[in-house]
Structure 1
Amino acid sequence: MTQNALAKAAGISASYLNLIEHNRRSIGGGLLMRIAEALEIHPHSLSGSEESRLLSDLAEVASDPVFRTTPVESREFPAMIAASPGMITAFLSLYRAYRSGLDDIDALSERLSHDPFLTEASHSILTRITSIRTVAEIFDDYDDLSRDQRARFNATLVRESQRLAESATEIFNFLERGEAGRPAASPAEEVDDLLYDNANHFPALEDHANKMRPVIDPDGGLYLTDLINYLEDTHNTRIERRPSEDFLTSGYQWDAKNNTLRISRALPITSARFQAARTICRLEAADPINEILDRAQIGSKAGRVRASEALISYTAAALLFPYDLFLDDARRMRHDIELLQQRYAASWEQICHRLTTLRRPGAEGIPFHLVRTDIAGNISKRFSASGLQLPRYGGACPRWVVHEAYTAPERVIPQFVRLPDGSEFLFVARALRSGAGGYGVPRSVHSVMIGCDTAFSNDVVYGDRLSLDRPESAVPVGISCRQCPRDDCAQRAYEMADGTPKTAKK
């Protein structure tokens, strides 16, 4: 398509389109939609989100100590992506494989140190090697051995060699059974890629949920009782409420063979309702979910299973929290998550998740990011539409409020932060406890953080009590310690990418 033809289709002048093509004008809203429609591509392909994601991943990779002697300049990244996007994607895949290999080495080392079988097998191998070496040294040092002595030592050498081979074979068989190898991309990374590639918005699932909703409950309530009655009447599904001690991890279990949903009596009603909705979506939304998975670049069976579960949850959220109504309520309540919880009988995490999916072109909500961590700092969920780079290969900055939230579980904590590049964000985090049982039964704790660029702070209630108009009040943060250029952080865990030791910091 010529420049003039595209400009005419988009309703702008050719000179203005020329400025857009040379990155001298930014676009959004209706103009972005018109250009994308004229080019017959997804709007998010033009929004810069894909390039932003590649820049984010490259910045994190470049901070790895492996590049210390051959530093990669971040200012070169945009030109590299523009010139060879395929090569950059291949480079990131190679780095993933490298990190996966390091993880495998660490895992095998840990197993070798603590697994009783491997410890015993390693000792056996060392013993056989010592015996073989001793016999070899005897042959080398003594030329006057008698025939009987030489035959006896030869027999020992053969016997110990056979035992060495057997011990080595047992170890390799054990490691193969333990599935020591892994693909370059883990199932979690494959799901992350699926969400990013689709901007965490799946129109086919939204449409399917809209069709399901009036069939399940014409009144639109979709209370737990409505969902259970529908499962029992339409799908002949058995619902069992079980004691909490019957569940080792989560408070629910889907038994496909017996068409039974088992729910813990200790599971909160918001979670029980969501699991009932997930079960309906599992049974009725398989076709659109499989179509999405067939188009996705998921190479492993485990990744496909994990992605399927994520899309089932997405459909359940679309079912319980209708897009247009939820978006209107979120705007009216200024994204007060607790008010939205009350309005939709949902949990904090469910509401946060739904807010990140409001990315329908032409009817978009605030571009949020979301992170969930456990108390050890491991990131178990991550998505960003706000422009904030989220670490893929390590833990997040220790100054992020997602960690501070653990000091006051169930309390909502907002935070105003500034990154080294000057960008400012509003963070909101809350630590949540899940699971319940009798005395002494451990409960899991994790923290969920949602946030956005401060440009949207007037539409988010959590910015009201923060001094967003005073830049000096912002908490100076980074992405991760290895990437962070700040030299005045007392919480640095790793040396900087330039090799400066952390002990040299203030």
Structure 2
Amino acid sequence: MKEKPMIGHKIRRLRNQLGITQSDMAQAIGISASYLNLIEHNQRPVTVALLFKLGQSFDIDLKDFATDDTTRLLTDVTEFFADPSIAGHSVSKREMRDFVNSQPNIASAMLQMYTTFRSMKNDMQNAVTGVSEHGGVGVSSQAEQMRLYLQENDNYFHELEEAAENFTIEAGLSRDSLMGDLARWFKNYRNIDVQVVPADVMGNNLRRYDPHRVRVLLNESLRRPQRMFQLLLQVASLTQSEVIEKLVAKADNPAIADPLRNQLSGYFAAAVMMPYGPFLDAARKLRYDLDLIGRRFGVSFEQVCHRLTSMSRPGDKGISFFFLRIDPAGNISKRLSAGRMQFGKYGGTCARWVVHQAFRSPNKILTQVAELEEGQRIFTMARTVSVTWTPPGTIAPEFAVCLGCDVKNAKDIIYADQHDLGLKASVTPIGVGCHVCERPDCAQRSQPPLGHSIRFDPYRRVLGLYDPDA
């Protein structure tokens, strides 16, 4: 059964902004003041009917109000209390959950301060050692801020979807001849030549626009889907700057302006290659057969997974997917949370998760039904992905991508047919990450459980590195 959203803090904030009493708001939406008080303190959920009454009575964004951010906040607060800087303050998961439910605004403010602290600590480390814990000054914080912006928008941007549809029509693009159509558009409308250049000439450049010689150069090492994507990135730069700049301005965060421009350009490119309506229709009819969707649209496996996370158009939404990309060492290079699956800001992921097993079976889609600590069940698909060509004698980068959703949606996915999705089905217990996971019986644990210190018992040894009962 789908849980009703606990969004009392948003209603209380709206009421305070409007400057009205609980009695006034309660009368406007047809409930008692005492019941509204319970709602504002998250002691009662908000029903769909009540949500619509709020929308009719006040000028609010229903999409924003309907989004319950409790799971994300709980994940972030758990990370906060797992930080070694505040060791000695043992806080249970129940206490954290109660705190987030009753004081979400204070929790958000605390987390904002914690993010600033982490960034300052990172900068100081860089000043002393020359290398930050995340590979550069402010990089992790910047990437996290952009990820949160995408998540707040459900990774959906109607302006870019519309721009992609208009460009497709104006340029006369066809899915079956997209590469040739794009090259013709560059020549006919911009008098720009598209040239594929030998890899040794291009070096590390995948694409280079030469405005003086009026040409776009593509590295020959790129596969066809990658070539189309690179050309469309250039199209976005030449034709969509106004749309993109408006979205960057709406983000109102100068720290992420440049990477956000790049991200939004990629969004436009994906929307041209995989138009929203036809893509979502194909995904539903093919029951989210990732390989077959990729073949139908002439795109890569990773591009399909990326695009599926943006199927959030109001009135025509697809499954809410989360996305992750890791390397063999467990480092996360891309991540996008969704629904009740929220990734931690820092650290890696759970070693029990199927995405880590993908490297043992290259190019094979692995699946898993897993259960998080809070009881949320998720269905996950994982596979290794190919990267661009690398010169002989050099180490080729390896990645695996993971796409998943709430288990209640798995019945619509062809890969889940082999699994028992019932409540009594066997599941794999996983956590967000060792540093915030309290499962006491995990032999895979790389860090001690939250709130427990490391002790040595000379008369006893348990499975795994740490004994939470010691």
Q: TM-score, normalised by structure 1?
A: 0.77
Write the deviation string for residues 200-225 of structure 1: whole angstroms up to 9, x where unpaired.
11111112112111011265656111
Q: Letter of the aligned partner of 2:155 in structure 1?
A: N
Output one character per residue of 1:64-115: Cα deviation in whole Å (capped at 9) or x when no partner: 2223212344434466456655543332222223323443455455549xxx
Partners in 2 of 1:354 and 1:277 — Cα distance? 15
Q: 1:454 aligns with which of 397, 404, 407?
A: 407
Residue 215 of structure 1 corresponds to 170
1:483 and 2:436 aligned: yes
Distance 1:36 1:248 in 2: 55
1:66 to 80, 85, 95: 85
| From 274, 277, 281, the counterpart of 2:229 | 274
- 1:151-230 equivalences under 5 Å are 182-183=137-138, 186-217=141-172, 219=174, 221=176, 223-230=178-185
Aligned-partner Cα distance in 2 for 1:222–1:469: 44
- Please state if 1:373 is matched with 2:326: yes
1:464 to 417, 430, 435: 417
Counterpart Cα distance in 2 of 1:324 and 1:250: 33
Contact 1:80–1:88 at 8 Å: present in 2 too? yes
Counterpart-to-counterpart distance in 2, 1:372 and 1:490 = 24
CA distance in 2, matches of 1:37, 1:378: 46
Alignment of 1:236-251 (within 5 A): 236-249=191-204, 251=206
User: Which has the greater radius of gyration?
Assistant: 1
Would the alpha carbon gap of residues 95 and 249 (structure 1) be closer, same or farther in structure 2, given more than 3 Å must change?
farther
> How much has 1:27 moved relative to structure 2?
4.3
**TM-score for the superposition, normalised by structure 2:** 0.82
| Structure 2 match to 1:315 | 268
How far does residue 416 in structure 1 lie from its aligned partner after superposition? 1.1
1:122 is aligned to none
Match for 1:97: what amino acid?
Answer: T
After superposition, the C-alpha distances for 1:16-64 in whole angstroms (9 at most, x for unaligned) are: 9969766644545x98577546533333321234343222211222222
Match of 1:44 in 2: 63
**How far apart are 1:446 and its partner, in Å?**
1.0
CA distance in 1 between counterparts of 2:184 and 2:53 reads 45
CA separation of 1:241 and 1:218: change in aligned 2, threshold 3 A: closer
Paired position in structure 2 for 1:232: 187
- 1:210 aligned counterpart, secondary structure: helix
2:284 is aligned to 331
Q: Check conservation: 1:97, 1:184, Cα contact below 8 A.
A: no
The one-character-per-residue Cα deviations of 1:304-352 (angstroms, maximum 9, x if unpaired) are 1111100011111112212122111111111111111011111111111
* In 2, Cα distance between equivalents of 1:425 and 1:324: 26
Counterparts of 1:354 and 1:37 in 2: how far apart (Å)? 33
Distance 1:181 1:108 in 2: 10
Output the amino acid matched with 1:264. N
Give the superposition deviation at 1:245. 2.9
Q: Give the structure with the higher percent helix.
A: 1
SS, match of residue 393 in structure 1: coil
Query: In the alignment, which residue of structure 2 is the partner of 1:128?
Result: none
Measure the CA separation in 2 of the matches of 1:82 and 1:466: 34
Partner of 2:366: 413
Q: Residue 372 of structure 1 contacts residue 382 of structure 1 at CA under 8 Å; is this kept in 2?
A: yes
| Matched residue type, 1:192 | R
Q: Choose from 267, 275, 297 the match for 1:344.
A: 297
Residue 154 of structure 1 corresponds to which residue in structure 2?
Answer: none
Whole-Å Cα distance in 2 between the matches of residues 213 and 375 of structure 1? Answer: 38
Determine the C-alpha separation between the residues in 2 that align with 1:437 and 1:233.
34
Task: Report the secondary structure of 2:386's partner residue.
Answer: strand
In the TM superposition, what is the alpha-carbon distance from 1:272 to its structure 2 partner?
Answer: 0.8
Change (3 A) 1:106 1:399: farther
Amino acid at match of 1:404: Q
Q: Say if 2:354 and 2:382, in contact at 8 Å, map to a contact too.
A: yes
Cα distance in 1 for partners of 2:294, 2:422 equals 29
> In angstroms, what is the RMSD of aligned CA positions?
3.1
Secondary structure of the residue aligned to 2:434 is coil
Alignment match, 1:135 = none
Give the total of aligned pairs: 432
Question: Please, which moves more after superposition, 442-451 or 36-45?
Answer: 36-45
Aligned in 2, Cα 1:195/1:222: closer, same or farther, shift over 3 Å? farther
| Residue deviations 1:438-475 (CA, integer Å, cap 9, x gap) | 43243221111010011011111111112333745211
Map 1:257-268 onto structure 2 (within 5 A): 259-268=214-223
Contact 1:490 1:505 in 2 (8 A): no
Letter of the 1:397 partner, please give it: C
Q: Assess if the C-alpha contact under 8 Å between 1:44 and 1:199 holds in 2.
A: no
1:257 & 1:62 partners in 2: Cα distance? 55
Structure 2, unpaired ranges of 5+: 1-19, 455-463
What is the SS of the residue equivalent to 2:393? coil
How much has 1:353 moved relative to structure 2?
1.0
- Tell me the SS of whatever aligns to 2:69: helix
Question: What's 1:88 paired with?
Answer: 107
SS in 2 for 1:381: strand
Among 450, 462, 466, which residue is 1:504 paired with? Answer: 466
